[in-house]
Structure 1
Amino acid sequence: MTPDRRPLALPLAVFLLLAFGLSWLVALPLWLGDGLEDPLFYPLAVAVMATPGIAALAVVFFVERPEHRARELGLWPLRPARRLVGNLALALVVPVALILAALPVGAALGVYPADFVHLSGFREQVSAQMEALGAEEALPPVWVLLAAQLVTVAVGAFLNLLPALGEELGWRGWLLPRLYRFGAVPALLASGVVWGLWHAPLVLLGYNYPGAPGWLGLLMMVGMCVVVGTVFGWLRVRSGSVWPAALAHGAFNAAIGFSFAFARAGETVDTVHATILGWSGWIVPLVLVAVLLATGGFRPAPAEPAAAGEEPGSRA
């Protein structure tokens, strides 16, 4: 990934108008209906995830019109293979590790009601699910169930890959490289702020921060997106590809349930303060980001030369 020096004003304006406008348009039925309780919430939330990708594709195909469109979005080339595979492995591990690390930090700071020994909250969740399904069989040991859930996170990361790619094509595929002309830190901060504000149609309905007023929920979402988006951006920059960022996003979404699995039964988790969504959960990723900044971790990977006839999506 190399910094882009082409004119930015028009492509950026079109991208932001489409990404934000389409997200509000898709979410409008929720505002006119029952909000988070609407039966269409989850299908529409997934549809909203596609809007940054649609915006990026529109800009690349109709505004910028580069020679190698797939390359412009980080979709291609898939080489060097060793670098790509290594970054995909990091994409599976790092988001899960950050989500889990947030919990003992929150517990130590007194903002996360942890039960790491008896897992009473997880037991309560599993029992409620089994009761809803009408199952009466004896449950396996809770640690076995928890280990099984960890395995399903890896599967879920790949199942979430395409919906996550809908976002990552926009944020880390198109936007971040275009902003890198201003330097790594400004680009990562600005793309994270944009990503956070883009969540407004759902966050203002109470999503992710149900106990907070809308303005505070949106402010916290912006903070979380800056912190987590910087980690996703690191994967994009060091790999030269959007695929590790998309897989990391998928793994993040698949593993977010762990934020509540280790809570005490009957306790409410305040996501403004606790879990990776809250300020206490940003401490570990901020330490990681500081280390990466100090060690040059945000220097772009060398670009792979384009081979004739190799790249899909090239213009004739």
Structure 2
Amino acid sequence: MRALYWALGLSWVAFLVFYLLGGRVESPAYVAFGFLYMWIPGLVALYFARKEGMRLPLALRPNRYWLFAWLFPVALTLLSIPLSLPFGAWKGWEALRQTLPQDAAQAIPETLWTLFPLVLILAALVAGATANLLAALGEELLWRGYLWEGLKERGLWPASLEIGFWWGLWHAPLVLAGHNYPREPYLGVPMMILFTLALTPSLLWVRERGGSVVAPALLHGTLNAIGGFPLLVVERTHDLLIGVVGLPGLFLLSLFNLWLRGRV
């Protein structure tokens, strides 16, 4: 557990320094800081793994579970859209125009706008398998790497509860500053913990079946890339009720965990 405490302590201190220097979630510098924040657990995991003679599996041998890891976030995100509609009005695909600079939006022919949602999904898949994977790997080295190796003997579900809780708590400074739940920062902390608890079983399952920490990093990175999509087309009436990190996502992940429970 020393690695966990070091990861939490160093991460939270790093965020405090970032915040005291004027950094905010909505600032451009947050992207660079977010990458650093995600890699603090990874560096801690690599240090303690080397110190203890533990091998963290980083093999690049994709199998069908890697494909699942890549596509699962897309299905989760798209299914969360209709489940969000009881809580927020449908804004329509036209709302996607607002995500682009005006000049760029005007340069796209009207006939191509019908394909724009598909373009966004493909872009998220590319980002999830490249830059976002590299960023997410920092987290996964600890949560589904080092910690899983130490808790594996307890079984998937007990380990998921422990890892999921600490993983969610690790996000607390970011959430309190406005990450994911900008209108509900205080309720956002327990909501984030519920979300990480619900997501952890699928990440551990992919980690085991995929044979590498890179596999859950692929799932994690792709989810980070596409998870905001519902917020572009559904009115954000309440942070806790819309999208993947809201109630719809929790419901869908709970259904998947029930299915997984019958197989593991």
Fold shared per TM-score above 0.5: yes
Match for residue 6 of structure 1?
A: none
For the pair shown, which has the larger CA radius of gyration, 1 or 2?
Answer: 1
Structure 1 residues 44 and 114: CA distance shift in structure 2, 3 A = same
* Mapping for residues 185-196 of structure 1, pairs under 5 Å: 185-196=157-168
Q: CA RMSD in A?
A: 1.9
Percent sequence identity over matched residues?
33
Q: Distance in 2 between matches of 1:144 and 1:183?
A: 44
CA contact (8 A) 2:175 2:185 kept: no
Match for residue 295 of structure 1?
A: 263
2:124 corresponds, among 149, 153, 158, to 153
Structure 1 residues 295 and 136: CA distance shift in structure 2, 3 A = closer
Q: Distance in 2 between matches of 1:138 and 1:248?
A: 31
Gaps of 5+ in 1: 1-11, 67-71, 297-316
1:121 alignment partner AA: A
2:29 alignment partner AA: L
Decide which structure has greater helix share: 2
Structure 1 residues 113 and 179: CA distance shift in structure 2, 3 A = farther
Match for residue 90 of structure 2?
A: 114
CA contact (8 A) 1:103 1:114 kept: no
Q: Distance in 2 between matches of 1:245 and 1:75?
A: 11
Matched, 1:273 2:254: no
SS of equivalent to 2:220: helix
Deviations 1:252-311 (A, max 9, x none): 111113122322xxx334221111111222111211111111122xxxxxxxxxxxxxxx
2:42 corresponds, among 53, 72, 80, to 53
* Mapping for residues 1-316 of structure 1, pairs under 5 Å: 12-13=1-2, 15-32=3-20, 33-62=22-51, 64-66=52-54, 72-76=55-59, 78=60, 81=61, 84-107=62-85, 110-115=86-91, 118-123=92-97, 125-126=98-99, 129-131=100-102, 133=103, 136-140=106-110, 141-159=112-130, 160-214=132-186, 216-263=187-234, 267-296=235-264
Deviations 1:72-117 (A, max 9, x none): 21214x5xx5xx321111111011111111111222xx123234xx
Query: Normalising by structure 1, what TM-score?
Result: 0.77
CA contact (8 A) 1:103 1:112 kept: no
Structure 1 residues 213 and 179: CA distance shift in structure 2, 3 A = same
Structure 1 residues 218 and 158: CA distance shift in structure 2, 3 A = same
Q: Distance in 1 between matches of 2:205 and 2:237?
A: 29
Runs (4+) off by over 4 Å: 133-136
CA contact (8 A) 1:272 1:279 kept: yes
CA contact (8 A) 1:102 1:282 kept: no
Structure 1 residues 240 and 136: CA distance shift in structure 2, 3 A = closer
Query: Normalising by structure 2, what TM-score?
Result: 0.91
Deviations 1:36-67 (A, max 9, x none): 244421111111000111111111112x124x
CA contact (8 A) 1:199 1:221 kept: yes
Gaps of 5+ in 2: none
